[in-house]
Amino acid sequence: MASKPEVNFGKSKIVPSVQELAKQPGLTEIPPRYSQSFQKSTLVFVDSSTIPVIDLRRLAAENSAMESELQKLHSACAEWGFFQIINHEISTSFLDKFRTEIVNFFELPYEEKKKLWQQPDNHEGFGQLFVVSEDQKLDWSDMFYVTTLPLNLRKTLLFEKLPTDLRDTLEAYCMEMKRLAMGILAHMAKALKMDGEEMREVFDDGVQSIRMNYYPPCPQPDTAIGLTPHSDADALTILFQLNETEGLQIRKDGRWVPVRPLPNAFVVNIGDIMEFGPADCEQWHLQERRAMVNSSKERLSVATFYSSKLDSELGPARSIIGPQIPALFRRVPLEKYFKEFFARKLSGKSYLDFMRIHIGESQAALAGDLGQEFDLVWGARRAKILDGGRLLTLSLDQASGSGFISKKQYLFGRIDMQLKLVPGNSAGTVTAYYLSSQGPNRDEIDFEFLGNVTGEPYIVHTNVYTQGKGEREQQFYLWFDPTKNFHTYSIVWNPQRIMFLVDNIPIRVFTNEERFGVPFPNKQPMKLYSSIWNADQWATRGGLVKTDWSNAPFTAFYRNFNADACVPSAASSCASKSTPASTNRASWQTQGLDPNSRRRLRWVQKYYMIYNYCTDLKRFPQGRPRECRRLRF
C-alpha cells in the first residue's frame, strides 16, 4: 500500500544565526537587515495582576467557584484575548527539567545546530519563519520550530537528530500541552454555551507545533525587534517563559502592554481560528503580540500552537449563516490555510484580513466603471480614475486635497464602497465618505476617517445631520489595520433606521424616533461624497499633532462601489414599501438587527467605541439629547 505523502506546510529562506552574530566581540551596531525603522507605540505599564489570571482548579470545581471562574475566563477572552493560567497540574520539577533542556539546546555548539537547521524546502528546524525575500528585514532572534502532533505529521529525521534527553522531555511536554489545550478549549466551549462534544470533535486530534525562541542581547534594542507584531494563525497559543527577562507585549486599545509572566504559569492567547472557525468567537478580543529585545539580557520562551485537526474545514458554523447573516470569512481546509499563512510575510493581522470576505468581491461585475458613477469635482489631477474605471484614488498635498460626488442622488438604500486608507503617518488628514443633501437645512450621514501617526490606530468618526443639525458623533477604533487591505464601509438607510457597517458588522444604529419629536432624514435625496483634506487643527489628538507634509502626497483608494438604492424621480416615490428593482440586497428596505447582528454591534461598542455623544454629560449639562433617552445603541 502506498504511504500517504508527507505534509509540508511551508518554507522560509535560510538566514544566519542571530545568537552567533550577538557573540561577536565588540559588536556595537546591528547589521542594517536587523535595523527596523518602526515607531514604537506608547507603552502602557500595568501591574502584572491587571492581565487576567485563570485558575484551572477553580474551573474544574463543580460549585459556584466554577461559575465565577468561567465568567472570568469569558471576560478575559472578550477584553484581552490573553490570560495567564495557574494550577494547571504540570509539576514544577518537570517544568524545571524542560527549562534546563531548552537552555542546553540553545547552548549547543554552532556546528551541532547546523545539523538541525532549516532546509530550503521546509521551515522546520533552526532559523526564522516567514522570510520570503532576500531584502526582508529580520527579527533579532533564533528559533527552533517543529510540528509535534499528530505523530504522522512529524519530521522523523529531524526528531531523531535532537539530543536524547531533550527528545524524551519534549515527547512528554507536547502531550501535556495537548491535555492542557483540550481542557482550556472545553472550558471555552462552556463559556460560549457551545456543545462541548462539537468542540472536542474539531480539536481532539488537532495539529500541534512548538516554537522554541532565543532572543540574544542586542546592542541597539530600540532599533530591533525580537518578533514582528502579529496575531497567531492557530486556535490557542500556550507560552512558557523560561527566564525572567521581559519582552512579550500585547496590543490592547491601540497601546502595547508588557506581559510579566507569573512563575511557572503559562500565558495563553486565542488565535485567528477562534474568530473565524467553527466556534464563531468574533465577540472575543484577538490581540496582536510582539517580542522586544534587551541590551544586556537574553530571553528564552517556548510557544505551543494548537489548532483543529488536519482534515477539518475552517469557517463559521453553517447553522449560523444565511441571507441576513452572511459569512464574514472564507471557508478553507486547514492544510491550505496553513500553507497560505506560512507563505506570507508576518504582518499584524494581515492574514486574518486576507481570510475575510469583503462585500463586493463576489459582485465585482456590479461595481461597473467608477467614471460612470462619480464626477471628480475638485483637486485637479489629485483625483484619478484608474484601471479601466475599477479603481479611484484621492490625494492630498500641501496645495490641495481632492474629492468626488456621485452623479445620482438617493432617497433610502444600501451604499457599499471598499476603501483602503492612507498608510503610514497620516496624522492631520481626514478622509470623508458620506451621504448629503444640499442647502443650509441639509441631511447628512457621515463616515470620517481621522489619520494618526505611524503605529497608532485610525479613528472612525460617525455623525448624523437632520435639518442642518448634527452633533450626534460616535467614534470608534477599528479591529484591523485599514491601510493594509481594502475593507467595505456601508450605509444602510431606510425609513426605520440608519445603520453604519464595516465589513458587514454594524458599528452604529440611528433609529427613526420622529414620533417622539426627534428629526429623521427621510425627505431630502442625498448624493454620495468623498474627499481627503487637511484638518490638522483638530483631527489628531485635538490638533496637537500636525500634518507632516514630507510624507505627502497622502492617498486613499476606492473600489467596488455598489448602490442598491432608490433613485427618486417625478414618476416614483422612494417612500414606497414595494420591492426595489434590484434584488441583490432587497432586504435593505426593512433591514434591522437580528440577534447575531445585535451581538456584533454590542461587541464593537463595548470594545472599540471611544466616544459617544449620548454619554458626554459635560457637553449637554441641561440633559442628554432626546434620542439618547430612547436609543439603546
Strands 82-86 and 53-55: parallel
Distance of CA 566 to the CA centre of its chain: 35
> What are the backbone dihedrals phi and psi of residue 474, each rounded to the nearest 5 degrees, phi first?
-130, 140
Nearest to 466 by CA among 415, 517, 398: 517
- Residue type present at position 630: R
Rounded Cα distance, 181 and 179, in Å: 6
Which residues, including other chains, have CB under 8 Å from residue 91's CB and lie 6 or more apart?
Answer: none
Which residues, including other chains, have CB under 8 Å from residue 294's CB and lie 6 or more apart?
Answer: 215, 217, 218, 221, 245, 246, 247
Exposure class string for 270-304: b at 16+ Cβ within 10 A, else e? bbbbbbbbbbbbbbbbbbbbbbbbbeeebbbbbbb
Half-sphere CA count of 436, side-chain side, radius 13 A: 20
Torsion sign, CA atoms 430, 558, 585, 313: negative
- Residue type present at position 79: E
Q: Strand, coil or helix: what is 31?
A: coil
Which own/partner contact pairs does 75-80 have at CB distance under 8 Å and 24+ positions apart?
Answer: 76/52, 77/188, 77/191, 77/270, 77/281, 77/284, 77/285, 78/283, 78/284, 78/285, 78/603, 78/606, 78/607, 79/52, 79/285, 79/607, 80/51, 80/52, 80/250, 80/252, 80/285, 80/287
Rounded Cα distance, 598 and 120, in Å: 49
Which residue carries 514630507 as its cell?
550
312 burial (CB, 10 Å; 0-12 / 13-18 / 19+) is buried
Which residues are designated catalytic?
444, 448
Q: What is the DSSP string of 17-30?
A: -HHHHHTSTT--S-
